[in-house]
Amino acid sequence: MAKTVLITGTSSGIGRATALYFQKQGWNVAATMRSPDREINRTDSLAKLDRVVCIALDVTNQTSIAEAIAAAIARFGTIDVLVNNAGYATLGAFEASTPEQIQRQFDTNVFGLMAVTRAILPHFRDRQQGVLVNVASIGGRVAFPLYSLYHATKWAVEGFSEALQHELLSFNIRVKIIEPGPIKTDFYERSSDRASNAGFPEYQPFSDRVLSNLDRIGTTGAPPEVVAKTIYLASTDKSWKLRYPADPLAKQLLFLRKILPDFIFTKIVRQSTKV
Ligand SMILES: NC(=O)c1ccc[n+]([C@@H]2O[C@H](COP(=O)([O-])OP(=O)(O)OC[C@H]3O[C@@H](n4cnc5c(N)ncnc54)[C@H](OP(=O)(O)O)[C@@H]3O)[C@@H](O)[C@H]2O)c1
């Protein structure tokens, strides 16, 4: 019988590529997104594919989470894998960010991910199996300027996932962390929430210089299909391995992070971002 994956944030980028990849491998896919109505009208709509159902799910809305999980189980019988993918980055000098921006960043990337996880766990425990895949980032283990809020959320996802793996071991539920490097998606454009420096002119020259370099790194990123394959591998390899750097640059950078002393790694970050 075909297995089922539920993925959050499938309207674009990594989530969409992951939905397509699992579908091609013969899986049932509950492709969840904030606006399934928009999806239905696309010529390349996921909804047109066999074994795919598009379901409304906003990770900041508890009711929509519960309804989406119930709808996926009603349609496919079970959920074998949850991919917590939905997320975005707030970008800019920390001092220039508003309390609302900080709250929304954590509501989506951390509390949203936790809410979907809490909602799926009774189903996984009942079945004494399940795979929980959390899309973190290299930004959960290394940090770049102007991404302080985003890094704070992804470091939170790393710590949360690492602790949770121990709690879920006896229920035969595997926890996986996916760590992509720069990936060419809407992440750097449509989805990016840029803090305004209005009122903080002191940061402007620094922001202009560093931002242009960060944006350039984003445009040279790997395609989202690379991450989709890594998510599939993590979901199916039957190992208890926790971390999966997703693309060649992520592997290199995380290796350097591991072997280099802090002061050398910091120097590399400053040089590559032109701090
Ligand atoms: N691209 C990179 O370089 C990169 C690197 C490392 C990690 N990541 C992580 O990869 C994940 C996917 O990002 P991406 O690169 O694929 O960017 P993307 O193309 O912008 O996709 C982000 C997805 O998250 C959804 N989303 C945002 N807020 C949501 C909410 N409250 N509820 C449900 N869905 C929500 C968006 O939906 P809407 O269409 O409704 O906005 C969109 O489908 C994120 O967690 C990101 O942090 C990305």
- 132-153 residue pLDDT tens: 999 999 999 999 999 999 999 9
Pocket test for ligand 1, best of 10, 57, 113, 191 (most atoms within 8 A of CB): 191
Contact 96 CB / ligand 1 (< 6 Å): no
Q: pLDDT averaged over the chain?
A: 96
Is residue 89 classed exposed, middle or buried when 0-12, 13-18 and 19+ CB atoms within 10 A define those classes? buried
265 vs 247: CA distance, rounded Å: 20
76 vs 27: CA distance, rounded Å: 10
Total domains present in the chain: 1
Is pLDDT at 212 greater than 90 in this prediction? no
CA distances from 266 to 138, 142, 145, 189, 257 (A): 15, 10, 11, 27, 10
Is pLDDT at 215 greater than 90 in this prediction? no
Which CATH number do you get for residue 253?
3.40.50.720
Contact 59 CB / ligand 1 (< 6 Å): yes
Is pLDDT at 275 greater than 90 in this prediction? no
Instruction: Check residue 195 and report its DSSP letter.
Output: P
Contact 92 CB / ligand 1 (< 6 Å): no
180 vs 202: CA distance, rounded Å: 32
Tokens (6 digits) for 243: 């971390």
Residue 16: pLDDT band with limits 50, 70, 90? very high
Q: Is the dihedral of CA 185, 187, 190, 191 positive or negative?
A: positive
- 87-132 residue pLDDT tens: 999 999 999 999 999 999 999 999 999 999 999 999 999 999 999 9
Find the mean pLDDT for residues 61-80.
98
Pocket test for ligand 1, best of 42, 84, 88 (most atoms within 8 A of CB): 88
The minimum-distance atom of ligand 1 relative to the CA of 224 is 16
Ranges of H-type helices in 32-112: 36-40, 62-76, 99-106
In single-letter form, the type of residue at position 7 comes to: I
Write out the residue range of the structural domain in which residue 37 sits: 4-273
Find the mean pLDDT for residues 39-66.
97
